[in-house]
Chain A
């Protein structure tokens, strides 16, 4: 190999070696014991491919994916939505795209202002005062919230609903296992809503660090009694954490209005492609209270001025981070999901308050249309609570058969939860025509 488009110095090796004063490249590794030197070259990825060949190989793989007529009727923590061209265009700007965390604020004002605006937009949406500039995803944001509650209260029990997204629950259990946090589940009622009685009973046993609720919950149902959750948590000295799909907040009451201590969730539904589940973007917000703000994980951008008095932006409260506090830090994170947060910001600024409300209304109409049509062909919705874009459907036939029939139309059904039920997701990417096709396929096996 003497030339390669990504390795510019292959032709300058001799010159560089003589500047260093060595006669062989091996001398650069004279401190690596022979016994740990690689004995034979690595066998990775075959021969170097040209750009054209890389594209061809990728297209070959793309053809192995099934091309569907429209995005799947699948949600469960990642819902398909239209991604506006302007979002793709802005996050593709390479000054943002190829930047690192803005450690040198004077040269990164644009990125910092964008992160401040992201925090500000999310703050309005959530009606919470302090938002960080993103975490990995909903599951890790929830985990960080619970670890924070554990630090703040010194307690180990955490109560979550049985209607928590099971993937978030698995992440929560993994992340908190090391600190000995015990996760307990609160049942739900016939409407699909969290049982407040059961919650109160568990809280009164004491030692609860945090109560978590999810809006809408995993069954797609909108929780209606969240004031009680906040009140009860407060009464028993636990932090209240609301996990929320930010997309619904165009029409639904935000966590701040209820008085939640912490809000977490994922911005995936605000302008991100599905990406097979990642990258996503976890958000994390707290009320205006010192013990919460100072224990909050993640990067925060704040307003300040420069030496000439101009409004400017910088990373703030960095003393909580692992650079100075090390093992006492509020979290171990360095990388976040800034570019995805930027996508959220661009998406929300395009929609504005009216666009967001209209989008929410459209999603509710279409999902309710799909639910009505499915009922008309003999399926049922087991829970009576109001829903947004996802809903649990029970079929008289086995769902595996239903799913197969839907697939035969080039569509992809919902997520199977038991032999006869599946969670369906319907959004603005599912046209009436495609919903009708899906229902027709279902009707054939009923």
Chain B
């Protein structure tokens, strides 16, 4: 039976050691000892622990044992695409590790060649003409995309106020549109789980800057009317934006560019297997075709006479999105992944991840309390279930199911998203999970639902086998107990901190 480590691990601040150091500083005899001017000199002593290397290492190994990643078990987080990260990617990181972003271009030809190949490969995969690898993750790509649309319309002398966003979209879409100064106009989902095309035609008009959409959508459904949608947006010279978060379900089957999309962002950490690192770093790309190519964040890597340089500056570029060239150290991990898959493998990604999703669905038919909204159609990268029947019958919530799965050794699916489905579980197994793991996951989910009907209390009390049990969120968020740092804890205990107003 699965059990997670339970170390009562103190904070580093609570370690007792004194006058220890975990890293010796090398000294050179250079006789140029200087002091910072007194007006700039730090006054208060720096209140950090003094620890040996062993203490530091042991602390973090214990913490690692109370963490859960794909190397520990399945992480079926819908829309987050947590696939296996092949270990050869670590060898790849050596290519970029010691390169400074401002080194002379002739000294980093290997890095630039890799970036150039990636620009081209991702353009081929998305059906776009050009890609910029500057975006450090998807949301930065979205911001780039909406700014490109804004600048495009402004260059034509038009002020377009509205950004259309599907109501099933990722929360990042409306947030990005708002960051770029657009008014967000939601496009409803119809009874089939797709964009309400009739409604869309009514909404689209001269103030429409563009439409942010993902396909397959967050329900895992393919937008069948995509060509009509594209025509409608283009008929008013709006631009169609592709949120690449869900690309994994169709890679090698269909391309956004062929569906009429003008701009695409990719999450390399999703589709192309860069590890997520507990929330990041990710890596991204923003790709464009037609008149949008000129607006890409620059510069891009170009090739002249066999040598590579940052010579391509899109001439109406929105500018830099990242301080340097994006998360190159992760782009190279995707590069290794693509080398390993080759054309044959890339052409299978969408098929194999879709096969896995639909196989899981076949194993989850007729589970009591679990409902499949918008039934009767195949899913792509992910599938959204609802536990509304169980909620109505016995009061079981999606969160309860999530916690029950944790006790069975699985990370939980995404819950309460998309907001258009009540009590939702959004499951994405990906193409890298063997059939047997999918079977085990299906059994675990079935088991949680069955237990809920026989002993709801037990499920409500889960998780029990994890490092801690359910948490007090009121305490975590209340202004009088909100503690984001040890400093706040210390100052509050000293009585020198006001309640947060």
Contact, CB under 8 Å: B46 / A353: yes
Contact, CB under 8 Å: A127 / B30: no
Which of B173-181, B196-204, B389-397, B446-454 is the contact stretch? B173-181
CB distance from A47 to the nearest CB of B (A): 5
Chain B 304-347 interface 0/1 with A at a Cβ cutoff of 8 Å (1 = within): 00000000000000111111111111100000111111111111
Report the separation of the CA atoms of residues A131 and B485 in the bound assembly, to the nearest whole angstrom.
7
Chain A 17-37 interface 0/1 with B at a Cβ cutoff of 8 Å (1 = within): 101111001011111110111
User: Is there a chain A Cβ closer than 8 Å to B1's Cβ?
Assistant: no
Most chain A CB neighbours (cut-off 10 Å) among B150, B463, B477: B477
Contact, CB under 8 Å: A65 / B109: yes
Contact, CB under 8 Å: B98 / A71: yes
CB distance from A142 to the nearest CB of B (A): 9
User: Is there a chain B Cβ closer than 8 Å to A195's Cβ?
Assistant: no
Contact, CB under 8 Å: B253 / A38: yes
Chain A interfacial residues counted at CB < 8 A: 212
Q: Which residues of chain A are near B99, meaning CB under 8 Å? A: 65, 274-276
Q: Which residues of chain A are near B362, meaning CB under 8 Å? A: 19-21
User: Is there a chain B Cβ closer than 8 Å to A224's Cβ?
Assistant: yes
Of A7, A86, A178, A340, which contacts B181 at CB under 8 A?
A178
Interface hits, B150-196 → A, CB 8 Å: 150-151, 170-172, 174-182, 184
Of A22, A77, A355, which contacts B23 at CB under 8 A?
A355
User: Is there a chain B Cβ closer than 8 Å to A55's Cβ?
Assistant: yes
Contact, CB under 8 Å: A25 / B500: no
Interface hits, B95-114 → A, CB 8 Å: 95-104, 106-111, 113-114
User: Is there a chain A Cβ closer than 8 Å to B420's Cβ?
Assistant: no
Chain B 73-87 interface 0/1 with A at a Cβ cutoff of 8 Å (1 = within): 001010010101110
Report the separation of the CA atoms of residues A95 and B488 in the bound assembly, to the nearest whole angstrom.
29
Of B84, B250, B259, which contacts A6 at CB under 8 A?
B84
Contact, CB under 8 Å: A316 / B329: no
**Residue ID in chain B nearest A119 by CB atoms:** B485
Task: Known A-B contacts: A58-B91, A117-B12. Give 20 more (CB < 8 A).
Answer: A4-B345, A19-B362, A31-B221, A48-B342, A48-B344, A49-B342, A54-B336, A80-B100, A95-B69, A105-B471, A110-B63, A127-B44, A167-B320, A278-B330, A307-B470, A334-B137, A338-B277, A338-B279, A353-B46, A386-B36
Of A45, A108, A178, A317, which contacts B150 at CB under 8 A?
A178
Contact, CB under 8 Å: A9 / B352: yes
Interface residue range, chain B? 35 or more
Q: Which residues of chain A are near B180, meaning CB under 8 Å? A: 178-179
Contact, CB under 8 Å: B69 / A98: yes
Which of A168-176, A206-214, A438-446 is the contact stretch? A168-176
Most chain B CB neighbours (cut-off 10 Å) among A165, A168, A225, A312: A312
Of A316, A328, A331, A353, which contacts B477 at CB under 8 A?
A316
User: Is there a chain A Cβ closer than 8 Å to B372's Cβ?
Assistant: no
Of B27, B34, B95, B136, which contacts A364 at CB under 8 A?
B34
Of A31, A106, A122, which contacts B377 at CB under 8 A?
A31
Contact, CB under 8 Å: B473 / A327: no
Interface hits, A217-270 → B, CB 8 Å: 222-225, 249-254, 257, 266
